[in-house]
Amino acid sequence: MSAMFTTAMALRQVDTAADDAVFHGELNRHWTIGPKVHGGAMMALCANAARMAYAGAAAQPALQPVVVSANFLWAPDPGAMRLVTSIRKRGRRIGVVDVELTQSERTAVHAVVTLGEPEHQGCGGGPRCCRRTRSWI
């Protein structure tokens, strides 16, 4: 049986302050390696919490996670978890959010998420366009 990624990423906001937000969610048992939750799934949950916290606190268009740096402090079990976010930088084009994923009052992951405008257009094949990667040179 497989679990949909969007279902595994579901979070519920339970508290908010000026630049902080707290979310509850579930570490899905289908996203594991052996008995422990996959690190990539935990990073994605941190990125999702950062995106939701930043979007809820900002008036500008929604930014998306473009970089996630995480420290894994211990391996949590599938089950209930909590994500605490703190907005460190709110810029016009870039935002930085700290996220801690905790379970049973113990921090499992500390992540720093950089949010920005994702690149969505190639270079169009112009004179300064790399023909192989379709990106600007």
Kindly report, residue by residue over 17-31, the tens digit of the pLDDT.
Answer: 877 999 999 999 999
Beta bridge partners of residue 109, listed in sequence order: 72, 101
Element (H, E) at 83: strand 79-90
Q: What is the pLDDT of residue 105?
A: 95
CA gap 131, 137 in Å, rounded: 10
Stretch 3-30: mean pLDDT:
89
Q: What share of the chain is helix, strand, coil (3-state, %, to 5)?
A: 15, 45, 40
What is the model's pTM? 0.82
List, for residues 44-102, the tens digit of each pLDDT value. Answer: 999 999 999 998 865 566 799 999 999 999 999 999 999 999 999 998 889 999 999 99
DSSP assignment letter at 34: T
For 28, phi then psi, to 5°, come to -70, 130
CB contact at 8 A, 19 and 86: yes
Q: Please say if the pLDDT value at position 1 is more than 60.
A: no
Q: What is the pLDDT of residue 130?
A: 66
- Decide: helix, strand or coil at residue 30: coil
Enumerate the domain spans of the chain: 5-116
Selected from 3.90.920.20, 3.10.129.10, 3.30.70.20, 2.40.50.140, the CATH number assigned to the domain covering 5-116 reads 3.10.129.10
Using CB atoms within 10 Å of the CB of residue 11, give its burial: 0 to 12 exposed, 13 to 18 middle, 19+ buried. Answer: buried
Task: Map tokens 């998306």 to a residue.
Answer: 64
